[in-house]
Amino acid sequence: MSIKNAFYAQSGGVTSVINASACGIIETAKQHDDKIGKVYAGLNGIIGALREELIDTSLESVENIAALRHTPSGAFGSCRYKLKNFEENKREYERLIAVFQAHDIGYFFYNGGGDSQDTAYKVSQLSEKMGYPITCIGVPKTVDNDLPFTDCCPGFGSVAKYVAISTKEAAMDIASMCESSTKVFILEVMGRHAGWIAAAGGLAGKNHDEAPHIILFPEIAFDREKFLARVEDSVKKHGYCVIVASEGTQYEDGRFVADAGAKDAFGHTQLGGVAPTLANMVKQTLGYKYHWAVADYLQRSARHIASATDVDQAYAMGKAAVEFAVSGKNAVMPIIVREESTPYKWSVGEAPLSQVANQEKKMPIHYITDDGFGITAECREYLAPLIRGEDYPPYDESGLPCYVKLTNTLVEKKLRTDFDV
């Protein structure tokens, strides 16, 4: 196969380590210049390919590309845009082929979660369905930790570390004030259908007498009376109650406790507001003074306290993606394989995109205590290695982290027509 250029794009919600995967891809591609020419990054994900807005990463300095490893967010811009099926919108695929042909692109790397891997899988079918040869590799990323096959997902370990630390520190604050002030603190975290992030809050305490006293999982139906009884019991026993609640906490009939009534671009229910909803329940029924917080973007952008394990794995997934591609593999995604928990050992494996796309991995029920409010020892054993180690970014004299901002220079367009998305 002659030398072909590569296309890389970031998709879905960004993380504190997605740029580490980008760094792994770009640096590794340079080591295979006998097969890969330039690496073009899509401006704002797959939208950049459709609009022919391609960033020439070769124009960035070696130092700036290396700095991606310690820089949060999506350096090239991300998007929430899902390709439709061939039959529904063939023009999208015809446009992709036109752009890829115009810029001699033969490799496609797509960095994202389940919906994004669906896009990657559809692109991998361009050769079969439309006669355009392209090597397509998915690169795992999601803070929700809900991709199948892989032991964990890049982005999750750092969020887990942030949530565990935040829970621990907030609990210490509440404990010092509860005698005459706040009795209940609620931290709302991400997780629409899988409670992995909420579970990570459980690492803040070493046993069930330590905060968090209640964890609410999407996998366990929310019982209002049972919840309020546990809050009251905790306040009577400890003087205060710390709660970590997944945004996807839902009733037995499937209704979300915090359904905002809107949908995102992937068609998922827009969530947010479970913390104030729970706080109002507590206030109205028990009368306790409360405070609540929503981790929101803070949890996924906190590169300053990223897990070293997570950073290493994110880079390794990008590196492996390129190595898979140049070795002739196609329509696969590199995954993390846990070999041992104690001591923690992992290696790189692979999974077919056809089986990864649009699948969600929920927490095993045996990771949740019988009362539905905590994590088991087995869950703790799974989570603990993922938050270990620090990988601090460099700091400048102002006391702030040194994060890189790329020039993101676009290549000249070769097609005469624009494309609306």
Q: Which residues are marked as active site? A: 144
Residue by residue, DSSP assigns 274-320 as HHHHHHHHHHHHH---EEEEE-HHHHHH-GGG-BHHHHHHHHHHHHH
Give the 3-state secondary structure percentages of the chain, helix then strand then coil, rounded to 5: 40, 20, 40
Sign of CA dihedral 318, 320, 321, 327: positive
- Give me the sign of the Cα torsion angle 229, 234, 236, 239: negative
Relative orientation angle of helices 308-326 and 156-177, to the nearest 10 degrees:
170
Residues in the chain: 421
Spell out where 50-170 has E strands: 54-56, 105-112, 135-140
Q: Are 200 and 164 in contact (CB under 8 A)?
A: yes
123-128's contacts with Cβ under 8 Å and 24+ in sequence apart are 123/83, 123/96, 124/330, 124/331, 124/353, 125/86, 125/331, 126/93, 126/96, 126/97
Question: What is the pairing mode between strands 241-246 and 259-263?
Answer: unpaired
Cβ atoms 38, 56 nearer than 8 A: yes
- Residue 27 CA, chain-centre distance (Å), reads 22
| Residue 179 backbone dihedrals phi, psi, to 5 degrees | -60, -40
**CA 97 to chain CA centroid, nearest Å:** 29
Distance CA(41)–CA(57), nearest Å, equals: 7
Q: Which two tokens stand for residue 220?
A: 């366990």
Comparing C-alpha atoms, which of 205, 151, 198 is closest to residue 377?
A: 205
Run of H or E residues at 122: helix 114-124
3-state secondary structure of 159: helix
Tokens read off for 406: 């790329």
